[in-house]
Chain A
Amino acid sequence: DSGVTQTPKHLITATGQRVTLRCSPRSGDLSVYWYQQSLDQGLQFLIQYYNGEERAKGNILERFSAQQFPDLHSELNLSSLELGDSALYFCASSVLGAGGAYQETQYFGPGTRLLVL
């Protein structure tokens, strides 16, 4: 158990809908990262938040957004869903993840499996 929790575990929805994925980082970790893993693909980095602020951005679509709250949990919002958005979405956390500590080990949650029909 990495200490990172993600809810829900599974989500089935229809095209055009909007969903919210939730992540609670390990106790004390300030950074949260979101990744997408599609079929036969590696993990694609989406976005990182550090202590409530957006820190780094990867291949995140404009239809997707995220935020990190004062209690450090994070939410990933996916809107106008398309069939191709079906994937595993992982959240990870690390102690700092900023400045000279950007190479820190990241601890991953179990993921949310999203199926768009």
Chain B
Amino acid sequence: DQQVKQNSPSLSVQEGRISILNCDYTNSMFDYFLWYKKYPAEGPTFLISISSIKDKNEDGRFTVFLNKSAKHLSLHIVPSQPGDSAVYFCAGWSGGSNYKLTFGKGTLLTVNP
């Protein structure tokens, strides 16, 4: 079974510090990963992605790191801002004949002023 796991349900950081959100996946069928952010009463919005052929992708304050040998990826937000407070979902695309996008359960990030 292909799974994407976010083992920390919540994370609290101070404004201006680094936020690190973690995600693990179960097998090598995943070849592309995305992070989505979700505010209450809204749908998820795309944040950043990374292909399995890369180990890092950066977009402004957001950087995603991929460690294929450990089947682990992380999202770094530097510096964290109160507006970053939201639920963050990690998702992975698995290819093959029945490709699909598998989401983790999400991590609630709270950035305190």
Contacts and interface: CB of A to CB of B under 8 A. Distances in A.
B32 A43 contact: no
Contact of B46 (A41, A42, A43, A105): A105
A78 interface: no
Interface in B38-64: 41-46, 49, 51
Given A42-B89, A42-B105, A57-B98, A105 B49 contact: yes
B41 A110 contact: yes
Given A41-B105, A42-B105, A102-B93, A56 B44 contact: no
Given A4-B43, A105-B49, A108-B45, A43 B95 contact: no
**Number of chain B interface residues as a range:** 20 to 34
A40 B6 CA distance: 12
A45 interface: yes
Interface of A: 2, 4, 33, 35, 40-45, 48, 56-58, 90, 92, 102-103, 105-111
Interface of B: 4, 6, 31-32, 34, 36, 41-46, 49, 51, 89, 91, 93, 95, 98-106
Q: List the 6 closest pairs (A to B, CB-CB), nearest first.
A: A108-B43, A42-B103, A43-B103, A42-B105, A103-B32, A105-B46
